[in-house]
Amino acid sequence: MHKVKASDLVSLRKSLADSDPEVLERIRARMPADLLAVLDAATASTWLPDRQICAIYESFCRVLYPGALSPFVQLGRRMALASYRGVYRVFLAIPSTSFVMGKTASVWSSYHSTGSASMEEVQDRSAVLVVRGADPICREMIDVITGHVHALAELTGAKDLLVASNVDDPAALRWSIRWK
């Protein structure tokens, strides 16, 4: 079973508690009791089953992005921006987008319990993130990852970003990334 480290969820929870506690309370009020208990107990090092963390993310999406076309992509972007604050933003702004995208795959196993990631076809303005050997990952998590990758490239100064997931190959998940 695929599990995800709750570090982004914890960063989002803290960010909302600091900046907009009323919104966080609206999210919490709409969340089933079992998921609320998981949200409250989660620490940055907690591993949560993919489906469970996606159900928690759905509660956030219903309040933060009602009616949005790609709410989980937007949530993934928001969580990444919340996670990479302060000194992290400075460090991400220094290297090239190609360099940061090339390093992205090396941290996969720090946040996901199954699969191995690699960056392929890394060029000046594009790259492909490939994950092989992962247990099934729910579609919502794939969208969250899409938003996260988008935010990482954005923080490097990339413009006109396009991040698209491809789940057609059952042996490998792919995210094509292009920028200017």
Do 160 and 107 lie in one domain? The reply is yes
Residue 31 lies in a domain: yes
Residue 89, pLDDT score: 59
Q: For residues 57 and 72, give the distance between their C-alpha atoms in angstroms, rounded to a whole number.
A: 8
Does pLDDT of 88 surpass 70?
no
Residue 74, pLDDT score: 97
How would you classify the pairing of strands 116-120 and 162-166?
unpaired
Residue 59 lies in a domain: yes
Do 63 and 103 lie in one domain? The reply is no
Residue 34 vs residues 8, 28, 39, 41, 47: alpha-carbon distances, Å = 20, 11, 9, 11, 16
DSSP run (H or E) holding 132: strand 126-132
Of 40, 71, 102, which residue sits at a domain end?
A: 71
Do 105 and 174 lie in one domain? The reply is yes
Residue 173, pLDDT score: 96
Do 28 and 67 lie in one domain? The reply is yes
Domain with 32, as residue range(s), is 3-71
Do 132 and 67 lie in one domain? The reply is no
Do 99 and 153 lie in one domain? The reply is yes
Residue 96, pLDDT score: 77
Do 129 and 60 lie in one domain? The reply is no
Do 142 and 104 lie in one domain? The reply is yes
What is the domain count for the chain? 2
pTM of the predicted structure, to 2 decimals: 0.92
